Amino acid sequence: MNDGTSSPGTRVLGALTLIGMAVLLAFALVISPADETQEETVRMFYVHVPTALVAFGAFFLTVAASVGYLLRRSEGWDVMAGASAEVGAVLLAATLVSGMLWGRVTWGVYWTWDARLTLTALLFVLVLGYLAVRRLPLERERRSRLAAVVGLLLGPATVACHYATTWWRTLHQGPTITTADAKMDGTMLFTFFLGMVVFGLLYVWLLVHRFRVLWLEHRVEDLGLDEAIAERRREAVGVS
C-alpha cells in the first residue's frame, strides 16, 4: 500500500481540504455579499489574505525548524524546514498573483513599489534563494547547516513584511482583522475565517506530503552513496 507519500491520515486530511475548498468557494463566490465600495472584487480577499497569513506561518515554521536543526542536528528538523518553505513559497506566489489582480481593479495598477509590496517581493526572492541553497550539490550535513542559517533570515523578512503597512506609509491598506475589532461585516468575516481554516488545512496536507518527498530524496541519496561505497569495496577486494 506504500506506493507513494500518502497514508490514511493524509487521505482524510486531503478529503477535508477538498470539501472545505468547495464550501469556501461557495461562500467566497456566491453566498458572501459584494462590498459597498469594492463591489465584487472583495471576493479576492478570501484567497489573498489567508494565503498570505498561512505563508507567513509556514516561514515561521521554517525558522523554528532551522533553529531546531542547528541545536539538535537531526534530519527531521532539516526536512521539516525545507518542506514548510516549499509550501510557503507556493502560497506566497498565490498571494502575489491574487494581490496583483486585486490591485489592478481597486488601486488601478498591478504593481507598485510601496513598502508592503517591495518587502513581499523580497520575502519571495529570499524563499527561492533558500530553496536553491537546499539544492546545492554539497555534502548533506554542510548543506543542511547552510540552509538552516539562510532559513533564519526568513524570520525578520516575514515580520517586516507583515508589519510593513503599520511601520511605513503604503498604498496597501492596513490590517482589517485586528484583535481590537474586525472592520468587516458578518458573512464576509465568516468567509475569511473559513478561508483561514481551509488554506491552513491545505498547508498541513501539502506539508506532510512534501516532508515525505524530501525524506525519500534523502533515502535515495543514501542508497546511491551506499551502493557506491559497496562498489568501491568490491573493487578494492578484487573480483571473486
Partner 1 sequence: MDVTPRPAPPEVPARRGSGGRGPLMALALVALLAAVGFLLVKQVGSASLYFYNADEAVAKRSQLGDRRFRIQGTYEGTATDVAADTIRFAIVFGGEKVVIEHTGSEPALFQPGTAVVCEGRWSPDGRVFESDRIEVKHSEEYKAENPDRVDPAAP
Partner 2 sequence: MTAVLAVLATLADAADAAVAADAAVATEDRGFQWALVLACWVAVLAAVALVAVRSAQRGRRLARQIPEEQRRWM
232 binds partner 1 (CB under 8 A): yes
36 binds partner 2 (CB under 8 A): no
Q: Which three cell numbers stand for residue 224?
A: 546511491
Say if CB 168 and CB 115 are below 8 A apart.
Answer: yes
CA separation, residue 147 to residues 103, 112, 221 (Å): 34, 31, 18
Beta bridge partners, 177, equal 182
User: Could you tell me the sign of the dihedral formed by the alpha carbons of 59, 64, 69, 75, in that order?
Assistant: negative
Coil, strand or helix: which one is 150?
A: helix
22 binds partner 2 (CB under 8 A): no
Residues 207-226 vs partner 2: string with x where CB under 8 A? Answer: --xx-xx-xxx-xx--x---
| Minimum separation from the CB atom of position 53 to partner 2 (A) | 14
Coil, strand or helix: which one is 190?
A: helix
115 binds partner 1 (CB under 8 A): yes
Q: Which of residues 37-66 bind partner 2 (CB under 8 A)?
A: 39-41, 43-44, 47-48, 51
Q: Find all residues with CB under 8 Å of 240, minimum gap 6, and list them.
A: none
204 binds partner 1 (CB under 8 A): no
Instruction: Provide the binding-site residues for partner 1, judged by CB under 8 A.
Output: 33-40, 42, 45, 105-109, 112-115, 117-119, 121-122, 125-126, 128-129, 132-133, 135-140, 168-171, 173-176, 183-185, 187-188, 221, 224-225, 228-229, 231-232, 235-236, 238-239
